A and B are shown apart, each in its own frame.
Chain A
Amino acid sequence: AQSVTQLDSQVPVFEEAPVELRCNYSSSVSVYLFWYVQYPNQGLQLLLKYLSGSTLVKGINGFEAEFNKSQTSFHLRKPSVHISDTAEYFCAVTKNSGGSNYKLTFGKGTLLTVNP
């Protein structure tokens, strides 16, 4: 089975500052990795995903994440945040089985609060 640990439950930052949201995973097989964002009273929106290829993945809204297999990490970064980035961010993993198993296992989330 896979598991995800999001190391920070809350991350407060000032507007225009850089931010990193940390995610570590555990799996005995190769995996695919995802970051989702959830705005208040909304569903989850896919920010980016790592399936294969380059370990640096670029997503929407200026976010990017780097897959590090040796450290089993998939940290999310943005060089300059805006007030509108305030939301809950979820890291998720699914095993790369090549089949139809798309069960996503989510972390507990990190609340990013951007202050003026």
Chain B
Amino acid sequence: EAGVVQSPRYKIIEKKQPVAFWCNPISGHNTLYWYRQNLGQGPELLIRYENEEAVDDSQLPKDRFSAERLKGVDSTLKIQPAELGDSAVYLCASSLWGDYGYTFGSGTRLTVV
């Protein structure tokens, strides 16, 4: 079984530029999460999807961040424009509804210079 696939693995951009991250969850997993992990910290939830519906986006900075999960499968997280403080690892995870304990992808390490 393929795991949660994220791309790119690394991204370096200049501040004020846009950036997008892509996530392909495990087949059949209807719940998808985006977490942000700052250096030396634990991950923090940005947004959670049940199928194609964003059911918890309270921690998503909506002035510059956006996300979508078309057809309830793949998801894209976008930042526009990026700021220096957005440098972090962005983790995608998925799970079956009612299954506690997600499967995480390897993450995208974003560096904003």
Contact indicator A43/B106 (Cβ below 8 Å): yes
A109 touching B100 in the complex, CB below 8 Å, given contacts A43-B4, A43-B105: no
Q: Which of B42, B48, B109 contacts A108 (CB 8 A)?
A: B42
- A3-54 with Cβ < 8 A to chain B: 4, 32, 34, 36, 41-46, 49, 51
Number of interface residues of A (CB under 8 A): 24
List residues of chain A with CB within 8 A of the CB of B109: 41
Q: Which of B40, B50, B100 contacts A94 (CB 8 A)?
A: B100
Contact indicator A103/B45 (Cβ below 8 Å): yes
C-alpha gap A51/B101 in the complex (Å)? 10
List residues of chain B with CB within 8 A of the CB of A107: 42
Most chain B CB neighbours (cut-off 10 Å) among A32, A46, A104, A108: A104
Q: Which of B4, B56, B97 contacts A103 (CB 8 A)?
A: B56
- The smallest beta-carbon distance between B89 and chain A, in angstroms, is 9
Residue of B nearest to A47 (CB): B101
C-alpha gap A45/B102 in the complex (Å)? 9
C-alpha gap A100/B43 in the complex (Å)? 20
Contact indicator B91/A43 (Cβ below 8 Å): yes
9 closest A-B pairs (Cβ-Cβ)?
A106-B42, A43-B104, A44-B104, A43-B106, A46-B101, A49-B101, A43-B105, A103-B45, A90-B42
Can you list 7 A-B contacts with CB-CB less than 8 angstroms, sorted by A residue number? A43-B4, A45-B104, A49-B101, A104-B43, A106-B43, A108-B40, A108-B41
Seen from chain B, the residues whose Cβ lies within 8 Å of a Cβ on chain A are: 4, 6, 31, 33, 40-45, 48, 50, 55-56, 91, 93, 95, 97-98, 100-107, 109
Seen from chain A, the residues whose Cβ lies within 8 Å of a Cβ on chain B are: 4, 32, 34, 36, 41-46, 49, 51, 90, 92, 94, 100-104, 106-109
